[in-house]
Amino acid sequence: MAMGRARMSRNDGPNAAYDCIGTAAGSSAPGTTEDGEGPSCEQDFNRCRRQQASARGRIAATGKAARDMVHPHRRECPPAFGKPARGAGWREGPMPLPMTCRPGIAGNGEARRIAALRQYHILDTLPDREFDIITRTVQHVFNVPMTAITFIDSYRQWFKSEIGMDRRETDRASSFCNRTIESSGPMAVADALEDPRFSLSPLVCGPPHIRAYLGAPLPTPEGHNIGVLCIMDHVPRAFSSRDGALLTHFTHLVMERLELRRSTSEDMLTGACMRRTFEEQFDAALHRRQGSGDELTLVLFDIDAFKAFNDTYGHPVGDRILRAVGRCTRSMIRPGDLFGRIGGDEFAIVLNGTPLATAERRVERLRRRFAAIRLAEAPDAAVTASFGLAGAPAGATAQELMKIADAALYAAKGRGKNAVHMSTGLLPGGPGQGEMPD
């Protein structure tokens, strides 16, 4: 069995399904798997424990402090261990990032921030009237020619809503907002031509000719600055601390809208994105792939005999199976991958930048993790899943890739279930078009 160990989630009660943590057998340790995955949840937990232990000498070893030494997958590190309060005052220029333990996301600070951004499924989405209302209101309040809601991806800043920029994205390295996300509060630039950080930026020397800038970070509840709400002018302009505080108030509206959008686009049981959101993000991933030439693999899987579990043990047990499957899947994928629930017990994963052969090894480890899940109500019953994989030929559409992976999933079911099957060619018909065995 390719499992480090099994653990029961304390949130699910005494009859919960066991969840899986640790590094799968066959992966290299410590820190990175053979496929270049980041640290495991358990390794991230141990890192946070070491950070907390180093701070013990600065606080009294009271019973309350001991109770606060909890797993970062349950809550943030307590304030006693170095998480600074927000809004600590106005400062021009960058400020250090707060130290937090992001629940369920392993890796360094930037990897965690990117992972937090991806969880909102906002990149490359269509314009949204609610966000456009915010940018228009901010433009009116500050009387500026340019304003934007921007999200900072790995190598770019992408505008969800903008006025006066006349573009949807720019390079991250030369952007003002890239500096702003390093701050815990607003960042102001009175004259970009006089600021050595930005005087040679193409956004200053060329269109849109930014001279003055004020930006406020968009922080998640866990403290990750995933983007910026900013205003800009074509002429030098001194911004006051009151301007910064007012712009920060508008960031709350942006984040409230993001959280609302997330609540309607994310499945609450599994943490996967809903079908419509998955399809939007899958199309966007294929569009980005056309420019980069990176490989991409689509994985479809469903839980074997899931209806029988529900009929035999009841829907609450079925829900716990779904939660455990969701946790195991999220622990195995990387920040740049996509995980969606496309049916009752049917799921899809987009492995960006992953060749088919590498994807098969990763999915095989996931299959073994599923097989290690056990239920308190039925300790002898195994939870298994069947997987179909499809590599993405040049020019293939999302619909075509879904048909390929669906045919591969059908073949895995035909092999007796609890199996992984790869398909590499476009199939105009045949298996996968009809109903799959349960």
350 pLDDT above the threshold of 60: yes
pLDDT of residue 424: 62
Please state, as a whole number, how many other Cβ atoms lie within 10 Å of the Cβ of residue 167: 11
d(CA 115, CA 138): 28
pLDDT at res. 216: 98
Q: Report whether pLDDT(92) > 50.
A: no
Asked whether the predicted pLDDT for residue 234 surpasses 60, the reply is: yes
Decide if pLDDT at 85 tops 50. Answer: no
pLDDT one-digit tens code per residue, 33-51: 434 444 444 454 455 445 4
Q: 101-124 pLDDT, tens per residue? A: 233 344 478 999 998 998 888 988
CA angle 267, 19, 423 (to 5 degrees): 65
CB atoms within 10 A of CB 24: 22
Q: Is the pLDDT of residue 240 over 70?
A: yes
For 59-211, list the strands marked E by DSSP. Answer: 146-152, 156-163, 169-171, 187-189
Which pLDDT score is estimated for 251? Answer: 97
* Whether pLDDT at 215 is above 60: yes
pLDDT of residue 16: 40
Domains identified in the chain and CATH numbers = 18-81 (no CATH), 120-265 (3.30.450.40), 268-423 (3.30.70.270)
Cα distance between residue 388 and residue 358, in whole Å: 14
Give every CB contact of residue 118 below 8 A, 6+ residues apart in sequence: 335, 336
Percent of the chain whose pLDDT exceeds 70: 72
Three-class DSSP category at 179 = helix
At 50 the pLDDT is 54
Q: Is the pLDDT of residue 84 over 50?
A: no
Q: What pLDDT was estimated at residue 262?
A: 82
> What is the model's pLDDT at position 342?
93
CA torsion sign, 284 to 289 to 292 to 294? positive
DSSP assignment, residue 208?
T
What confidence tens digit (pLDDT) does each residue in 311-344 have? 888 888 899 999 999 999 999 898 789 999 999 9
Q: In this model, does residue 95 exceed pLDDT 60?
A: no
Looking at every residue in the chain, the average pLDDT score rounds to 77
In the predicted model, what is the mean pLDDT of residues 348-357?
A: 93
For the segment 47-76, the average pLDDT, to the nearest whole number, is 39
Least confident of 139-143, 177-181, 188-192, 374-378: 374-378
Q: Under 8 Å CB-to-CB from 88, ≥6 apart: which residues?
A: 184, 185
> Among residues of the chain, what percentage have pLDDT more than 90?
52
Q: Which residue has the higher pLDDT, 30 or 178?
A: 178
Report residue 426's pLDDT band, with 50, 70 and 90 as the boundaries: low
At residue 148, the pLDDT reads 98
- On whether the CB atoms of residues 162 and 224 are closer than 8 A, the answer is no
Is the pTM higher than 0.85? The answer reads no
